Chains A and B, each alone.
Chain A
Amino acid sequence: MAGSTAFGIALLLGVASSMSAQVKVGDNLNMNLNGTLSAGYTADYGNIMSSDHGFTFGGDGDLSGSYYDPNFVSFHVQPFYNQSRANSSFQSISDTSGVNASASIFAGSHFPGTISYSKAYNSEGNYAIPGLSNFTTHGNSDVFSVGWGVNLPDRPTVAVSFQRGANDYSIYGSNSTSQSHSDSFSTSSTYMLDGFNLNASYRYTANDAQIPDLIANQTPEASNTSSNSFTVGVGHRLPFNGSFSVGASRSDTSADYVGGSYSGTIDSLNAGMSFTPFSKLSFGTNAQYNDNLAGTLFNAVLSAGGVLEQSNLNETSHALDVNNYANYQVPAAHLVFSGNVDHREQSIFGSTLSANSFTGTATYSNEFLGGFLNATGGLVENTVSPRSVNSLGWISSINYSRKVFGWDLFGGVNYSQNQQTFLIAYTTSSYGYNAGIGRKLGRASHWGATATGSQTGLTQQSGTTSFNQSYSTALSVKWIGVSGAYAKSSGNGILTGAGVAPIPIPVPIVNPTSIVLYGGHSYSGGIGISPVRRLTISASYARAFSDTTSSTLTSNNRTQMFATRIQYQFRQMYFQAGYTKLVQGFSLAGGPPAMIGSYYVGVYRWFNFF
């Protein structure tokens, strides 16, 4: 142990004494290197690992440079060893190591290129529940990407890029793991020909992912998808400050997942034009036709990271959407009027529907009673046939801010009813609010508090509501800062690799077995103190409770994290000590929650090597 200490000190001094200016290798290679080296004592304990302690070393570096000229070749390499920025800054519960590297080639020419690579081992990550504190994960990841472009004057531009990535992680407190791999290739081109702006692109993506199902206790979902998409388009300027554009796209998607597969092609056409004949008036129209609405629904879920287990996705479906709009400003009255006429036709799941919507809104923005007021109100009329369903919708929002006797106040509410969703068979209603108050207390102190909340759901479908509210406050008095927050949320979601995500399409379309109901609350607090210059002491605590219910099972989940750190800077040395404790568990995983604690005492030194 003593030998390790001596080695560490010798290493620090040896590196320090070798400091020099920027390095030039040969006539053309210039490089700069700076970074940190750390040494310290750390101890870990917990119920999912064997306790250990000992001296440890870490560091990071930042090597940058160029060959011949930064516009010819420039590069950036950032290796790091035994780092974790999430908690105690160094040697916390996840000792991350890895490297980030990138290079820019011929950046100053007509043929610029970039190449980058990053890899991280044992890095901390998050697994999300909407509106609440995240669960903690740890895992590995790597990403490689390369891109090239051609930008010749008066010639079509070309851009080509390729990216390959992989990621795997496990969640503390469960045996669940997730793995994913992705490849993507894209190329695009633009060209201006006689005033016509031509563009075309191609993109290929392939993903395979295993989604952890720790809160449903089922076999982990797995999917393997690939898609090819092509787009072409043309645009041109029109009189009266106008423009038009037309485009077409084709997307082929195939997916395999546990219990099924999907293969489909989506063709879409779009066209639009807009005019601004006067600065106060603008209007235009847009139209889009899609020959595979069901496939579009599937892709929306896929893009959110989920898997949609639906049996009728291969049925014939299509959608047409024509939107006409106009905006008119009345600056003297601080008013803006907007109007929309929308016609939509959708054929899906064996039924054909069409809808006409007429929307009119007025917005007022001006100083009012010593503050500033922004208010919007409007009506929406929806007519859906052949069901002959007429509904009258409403849009309203009002926000006001003002300073009263030194208090900064703001508040706002919004309410909407019967707004059409992605599918015209459904409408949503929602409300939200936000409020805040703040005040400067003396010369170096400030207090503030905010509250926000919202609720939304399908108007005619019970059980689709999502709800969240949060409150926070912060007080700073000279060299002390204190903050606290409370959040509460509930709703419907789908499982993804990054956690539970809000459902991107109307709930009834999603197979009930894929839906996870979530609800919970979390609170957190923190304090930071800097009693003397260069000395900082901080502590934070966060705790979250949530219940998640799949089609058959309910899991009670909780996570709590406590971290404290003290740091003192002397010149380019930073003495620090920290303690971090994580407790995280899922009732469906069985067994007690995972508990990990970590202490650290050490020093790190910043170097400008050359």
Chain B
Amino acid sequence: MVASAILLLFPPTLAARRKTKPQDDITVPRLELEGGRQLLYERSFSNEREVKIKRSFWNKLLDVVAGAPEYHFLVRPYSVVTDSHDRVIVADPGARGVHIFDFAQQKYKFLDRTGGKDTLSAPQCVAVDKQDNIYVTDSDTGKIFVFEPGGKFRRAIGSLKGGEGYFKRPTGIAVDSDRQRIYVTDTLRNKIYVMDMEGSVLQTMGKTGQGNLEFNYPTELRLDGPNLIVVDAMNFRLQVLDRSGTFKYAIGHLGDGSGDFFRPKGVGIDSEGHIYVVEGFNAEVQVFDTQGRLLYYFGEMGTGPGQFQLPTGVFIDHNDRIFIADSYNRRIQVFRYFGQKKPADGGGQ
């Protein structure tokens, strides 16, 4: 299979050319960038079975007699994040729950809540704090669900009397453990709420409009050093604020060309400060520098490695592994960026 998934850039700074690396009979995408930088496709995963690789003799025997267990699988993954133990946490509104993939420990957990006062209905975005507590926005019930690292439900922020949610449509979420703040985007109110860790609203940012610090359906959030990056979806741009809510600069404008935004979804930051923006309509990821210049982009419409269908969330961990929620393909795709100080030591897994 030809992996033409990673497309080349024509950047002002980082020239790139495509290579392919054979792995068995599958060719995985590989992008070579200027200065020895590389972007490699590593793998994709879609269900619980891929975590639990090693199975005991008795489990295998049970599989033969009673059939394989009903493994959980991604239905419509929207947002992805990793915690300090490299567990991959995926918010999946299609499955009405949150998947936790722990590849190191070969464990899997599915978080859901049904039937009670605080039912998890449409988990949209997910974030973790320093203690690995998991924060999930529910765009349907208007609440934020907090789970302990082990998956035990702790509380629902914004749960009012009668079961209603405080937020109209909470989507993006980011947690600042150092300052004990939770940032939440309320897409329908065109505002960002800043709360303490108990859920008390301390500040709101933004209002409806097209100017600086004005939003039109803001969605994802990402904290990066002193900055708070907001996907201002229907203004077709990113707005970069400081953590107190002061506007710093914006990136992007409406269009269907390279570097333009049409359906911006998730946003992530790598170790060199490059900003990765998922473009859902074109099924690609655009990478910008902090000046808003397009460096390169990768991805195309399809189902193969490095190809996407309606990609949404993106998260880049401390090892520069890039996790992308490939929503309609029902999978998470993992890439790895090798910056100038991290020479590539191999291809995909």
Give chain A's interface residues, CB within 8 Å of chain B: 12-13, 16-17, 443-444, 478, 570-573, 605-607
Can you list 6 A-B contacts (CB < 8 A)? A12-B65, A16-B67, A443-B163, A572-B68, A573-B67, A605-B66
Task: Choose one: B66, B67, B69, B115; the contact of A444 (CB below 8 Å).
Answer: B115
Q: What chain A residues lie within 8 Å of B345 (beta carbons)?
A: none
Task: Choose one: B64, B70, B116, B163; the contact of A16 (CB below 8 Å).
Answer: B64
Q: What chain A residues lie within 8 Å of B69 (beta carbons)?
A: 571
B64 touches A17 (CB 8 A): yes
Q: What chain B residues lie within 8 Å of A17 (beta carbons)?
A: 64
Measured CB to CB, the nearest residue on chain B to A608 is: B67
Please give 7 more A-B residue pairs, beta carbons under 8 A apart, in addition to A443-B163, A573-B67: A13-B64, A443-B116, A570-B66, A571-B66, A571-B67, A605-B66, A607-B67
Q: What chain B residues lie within 8 Å of A606 (beta carbons)?
A: 67
Q: What does the 1/0 interface line of B53-67 toward A look like (CB < 8 Å)?
A: 000000000101111
- Complex CA gap A171/B245 in Å reads 80
Q: What chain B residues lie within 8 Å of A572 (beta carbons)?
A: 66-68
Measured CB to CB, the nearest residue on chain A to B117 is: A443
Closest CB of chain A to B118's CB: distance in Å?
Answer: 11
- Complex CA gap A573/B65 in Å reads 9
Task: Choose one: B66, B115, B116, B117; the contact of A573 (CB below 8 Å).
Answer: B66
- Complex CA gap A13/B65 in Å reads 6
- Complex CA gap A128/B250 in Å reads 73
Q: What chain A residues lie within 8 Å of B115 (beta carbons)?
A: 443-444, 478
Beyond A443-B115, A443-B117, A444-B115, whether A605 also contacts B67 by CB under 8 A is yes
Q: Which 4 pairs from chain A and chain B are nearest by CB? A: A572-B67, A571-B66, A571-B67, A573-B66
Beyond A443-B115, A444-B115, whether A571 also contacts B68 by CB under 8 A is yes
- Complex CA gap A12/B66 in Å reads 9
- Complex CA gap A144/B67 in Å reads 36
Q: What chain B residues lie within 8 Å of A571 (beta carbons)?
A: 62, 66-70
Measured CB to CB, the nearest residue on chain B to A605 is: B67
Q: What chain B residues lie within 8 Å of A605 (beta carbons)?
A: 66-67
Number of chain B interface residues as a range = 10 to 19
Closest CB of chain A to B69's CB: distance in Å?
Answer: 6
- Complex CA gap A13/B68 in Å reads 13
Closest CB of chain B to A441's CB: distance in Å?
Answer: 14
Give chain B's interface residues, CB within 8 Å of chain A: 62, 64-70, 115-117, 163
Q: What chain B residues lie within 8 Å of A573 (beta carbons)?
A: 65-67
Q: What chain B residues lie within 8 Å of A607 (beta carbons)?
A: 67
- Complex CA gap A17/B70 in Å reads 18
A16 touches B117 (CB 8 A): no
- Complex CA gap A68/B134 in Å reads 50
- Complex CA gap A322/B338 in Å reads 83
- Complex CA gap A571/B61 in Å reads 13
- Complex CA gap A571/B67 in Å reads 6
Closest CB of chain B to A364's CB: distance in Å?
Answer: 37
- Complex CA gap A571/B59 in Å reads 12
Q: What chain B residues lie within 8 Å of A570 (beta carbons)?
A: 66
Q: What chain B residues lie within 8 Å of A444 (beta carbons)?
A: 115
Q: What chain B residues lie within 8 Å of A478 (beta carbons)?
A: 115
Measured CB to CB, the nearest residue on chain A to B62 is: A571
Q: What chain A residues lie within 8 Å of B117 (beta carbons)?
A: 443
- Complex CA gap A571/B63 in Å reads 9
Q: What chain A residues lie within 8 Å of B66 (beta carbons)?
A: 570-573, 605
Measured CB to CB, the nearest residue on chain A to B70 is: A571
Q: What chain B residues lie within 8 Å of A16 (beta carbons)?
A: 64-65, 67
Measured CB to CB, the nearest residue on chain A to B64 is: A16
- Complex CA gap A573/B64 in Å reads 11
- Complex CA gap A606/B115 in Å reads 30
- Complex CA gap A531/B72 in Å reads 22
**Taking each of B62, B67, B69, which has the highest tally of chain A beta carbons within 10 Å of its own beta carbon?**
B67
- Complex CA gap A115/B54 in Å reads 47
Closest CB of chain B to A534's CB: distance in Å?
Answer: 9
- Complex CA gap A607/B115 in Å reads 32
- Complex CA gap A607/B66 in Å reads 10
Q: What chain A residues lie within 8 Å of B163 (beta carbons)?
A: 443
Q: What chain A residues lie within 8 Å of B116 (beta carbons)?
A: 443
- Complex CA gap A16/B62 in Å reads 11
Closest CB of chain B to A479's CB: distance in Å?
Answer: 10
- Complex CA gap A478/B68 in Å reads 29
Closest CB of chain B to A467's CB: distance in Å?
Answer: 44
- Complex CA gap A570/B70 in Å reads 9
- Complex CA gap A42/B211 in Å reads 76
- Complex CA gap A17/B63 in Å reads 9
- Complex CA gap A12/B65 in Å reads 8
- Complex CA gap A444/B163 in Å reads 14
- Complex CA gap A573/B62 in Å reads 11
- Complex CA gap A346/B200 in Å reads 83
Q: What chain A residues lie within 8 Å of B68 (beta carbons)?
A: 571-572
Measured CB to CB, the nearest residue on chain A to B119 is: A443
- Complex CA gap A17/B62 in Å reads 11
Closest CB of chain B to A9's CB: distance in Å?
Answer: 9
- Complex CA gap A573/B69 in Å reads 10
**Taking each of A16, A17, A570, A571, which has the highest tally of chain B beta carbons within 10 Å of its own beta carbon?**
A571
- Complex CA gap A376/B181 in Å reads 62
Closest CB of chain B to A59's CB: distance in Å?
Answer: 15
- Complex CA gap A443/B119 in Å reads 10
Closest CB of chain A to B130's CB: distance in Å?
Answer: 35
Q: What chain B residues lie within 8 Å of A13 (beta carbons)?
A: 64-65
Closest CB of chain B to A498's CB: distance in Å?
Answer: 41
Closest CB of chain A to B55's CB: distance in Å?
Answer: 13
**Taking each of B66, B69, B115, B116, which has the highest tally of chain A beta carbons within 10 Å of its own beta carbon?**
B66
Q: What chain A residues lie within 8 Å of B64 (beta carbons)?
A: 13, 16-17
- Complex CA gap A605/B70 in Å reads 14
Closest CB of chain B to A323's CB: distance in Å?
Answer: 52
Measured CB to CB, the nearest residue on chain A to B115 is: A444
- Complex CA gap A440/B116 in Å reads 15
Q: What chain A residues lie within 8 Å of B70 (beta carbons)?
A: 571
- Complex CA gap A573/B66 in Å reads 6
Q: What chain A residues lie within 8 Å of B67 (beta carbons)?
A: 16, 571-573, 605-607
Closest CB of chain A to B73's CB: distance in Å?
Answer: 15
Closest CB of chain A to B298's CB: distance in Å?
Answer: 32
Closest CB of chain B to A17's CB: distance in Å?
Answer: 5
Measured CB to CB, the nearest residue on chain B to A17 is: B64
- Complex CA gap A17/B68 in Å reads 12
- Complex CA gap A607/B67 in Å reads 8
Measured CB to CB, the nearest residue on chain B to A569 is: B70
Measured CB to CB, the nearest residue on chain A to B69 is: A571
Q: What chain B residues lie within 8 Å of A12 (beta carbons)?
A: 65
- Complex CA gap A606/B68 in Å reads 11
- Complex CA gap A478/B115 in Å reads 8
Closest CB of chain A to B47's CB: distance in Å?
Answer: 15
- Complex CA gap A478/B116 in Å reads 11
Measured CB to CB, the nearest residue on chain B to A606 is: B67
- Complex CA gap A572/B69 in Å reads 8
Closest CB of chain B to A185's CB: distance in Å?
Answer: 46
Closest CB of chain A to B113's CB: distance in Å?
Answer: 12
Q: What chain B residues lie within 8 Å of A443 (beta carbons)?
A: 115-117, 163
- Complex CA gap A572/B66 in Å reads 6
Closest CB of chain A to B92's CB: distance in Å?
Answer: 20
Closest CB of chain A to B68's CB: distance in Å?
Answer: 7
Measured CB to CB, the nearest residue on chain B to A9 is: B65
- Complex CA gap A444/B69 in Å reads 28
Measured CB to CB, the nearest residue on chain B to A443 is: B115
Closest CB of chain B to A375's CB: distance in Å?
Answer: 37
Q: What chain A residues lie within 8 Å of B65 (beta carbons)?
A: 12-13, 16, 573
- Complex CA gap A417/B121 in Å reads 52
